[in-house]
Amino acid sequence: MKKHNFNAGPCVLPKPVIESGIEAIKNFDGTGIGILEISHRTPGWERIMKETEELWKELLNIPEGYRVIFLGGGASTQFLYVPYNLMGKKAAYLQTGVWAKKATKEAKLFGEVDIVASSEDKTYSYIPKNYTIPADASYFHITTNNTIYGTEIHTDMDCPVHLVADMSSDILSRPVDVSKYALIYGGAQKNVGPAGVTFVIVREDILGKTDRPLPTMIDYRTHLKDSSMFNTPPVFSIFVMHETLKWIKELGGLEAMYKINKEKAELLYNEIDRNKMFVGTAAKEDRSLMNICFVMAEGYKDKEAEFMEFAKSKGMVGIKGHRSVGGFRASTYNACPIESVKALVECMQEFESKH
Ligand SMILES: Cc1ncc(COP(=O)(O)O)c(C=O)c1O
């Protein structure tokens, strides 16, 4: 039976990307040696590294003065890199979910943290709107897409201080005005490849402004200077990222990606709103295009396990909601085909007609 993969990350990857990953494991770049066995100083590899940064710059239309680097440690390690490198006395954070809260926790080790607003009061089901960003903060940190709760900040805001964004779960899903941000980071394992590599897009002139001593590996400048080759990079994860970026480019870039993502999300949200058995959990204006969260409606709460079994029997994978929210979450990242979303919608309709 065909499986429809709605995992929240790691998650579905484009088929052609998987194919080139398999080929590269057998024979990288015509060398007769697999990518897992080459030196990262191989000229063919250095070309892939260069092209990967160039593809990022091209797809996101990244202005002059920014670099893209590739690190290990996941987005969670960036929670500490950011204050280590950028924080003076104070930083400001918008608390829109558990990941944002974890980022805040790390920042508190380095100085004063101003949580300008939080939506914890309603299980992070909305994005706070009216808040003041302190002008004396070194930066303002946001999480653009809240993977667990299915909320998303849809616009690139104007910010009086350096804007720093965790874009782990919506990067490359839409065009972004990078010039509004001082730093953007995320784990690759949703829209840009497998786990194991973390991307950081950084405006070079914001670095080197704190007087705190920085360990070599934590200092972004180390990795800028050596183009992410100061130490051994996660070679295979970067290769798959490179192929994923090429796939996005071939599809027509981020405008095209955004159009498909909106179409997929609209299909599923329309069904959630229409179907008497389900109800969405995120505030409508803040609904994520990437993680679509819903629960059983009043009167049908006892049908949750039955729907889960039914959906499983129809090939749906990874639709269980995060334990802190319950219900269901369908992650419709870039590589999730519209056919899978249609199959889930049909499955919800069939379930409704049975009750
Ligand atoms: C928005 C967001 N930030 C951070 C993380 C943590 O990422 P990592 O597992 O790469 O540390 C996740 C993981 O799902 C996430 O969704």
Tell me the pLDDT of the chain (355 aa) as tens digits. Answer: 899 999 999 999 999 999 999 999 999 999 999 999 999 999 999 999 999 999 999 999 999 999 999 999 999 999 999 999 999 999 999 999 999 999 999 999 999 999 999 999 999 999 999 999 999 999 999 999 999 999 999 999 999 999 999 999 999 999 999 999 999 999 999 999 999 999 999 999 999 999 999 999 999 999 999 999 999 999 999 999 999 999 999 999 999 999 999 999 999 999 999 999 999 999 999 999 999 999 999 999 999 999 999 999 999 999 999 988 899 999 999 999 999 999 999 999 999 999 9
Q: Do residues 288 and 146 touch, judged by C-beta distance below 8 A? A: yes
Cβ burial of 155 (10 Å; 0-12, 13-18, 19+) is exposed
d(CA 308, CA 94): 34
Which pLDDT score, from 0 to 100, does residue 11 have?
Answer: 97
- Rg of the chain over Cα atoms, rounded to whole angstroms, equals 21
Bond into 134 cis (ω within 30): no
d(CA 276, CA 295): 11
Domain 15-251 grouped into CATH 3.10.290.10: no
Q: Do residues 175 and 255 touch, judged by C-beta distance below 8 A? A: yes
169, 171, 241: which to mutate for ligand 1, most atoms within 8 A of CB? Answer: 169
d(CA 228, CA 196): 14
The residue whose CA is least distant from atom 9 of ligand 1 is: 74
Ligand 1: centre distance to CA 74 (Å):
7
Continuous H helices in 87-212: 98-107
Q: Which residue has the tokens 């914001």?
A: 206
d(CA 162, CA 164): 6
Q: What is the pTM of this model?
A: 0.98
- What are the structural domain ranges in the chain? 15-251, 254-353
Judge if the beta carbon of residue 76 lies within 6 A of ligand 1: yes
Q: Do residues 199 and 56 touch, judged by C-beta distance below 8 A? A: yes
Q: Which amino acid is at 141?
A: H
Q: Which CATH superfamily is domain 254-353 in?
A: Aspartate Aminotransferase, domain 1 (3.90.1150.10)
Ligand 1: centre distance to CA 113 (Å):
21
Which pLDDT score, from 0 to 100, does residue 80 have?
Answer: 98
Which pLDDT score, from 0 to 100, does residue 324 have?
Answer: 87
Judge if the beta carbon of residue 75 lies within 6 A of ligand 1: yes
Respond yes or no: is residue 166 known to be catalytic: yes
Ligand 1: centre distance to CA 54 (Å):
24
Q: Do residues 319 and 245 touch, judged by C-beta distance below 8 A? A: no
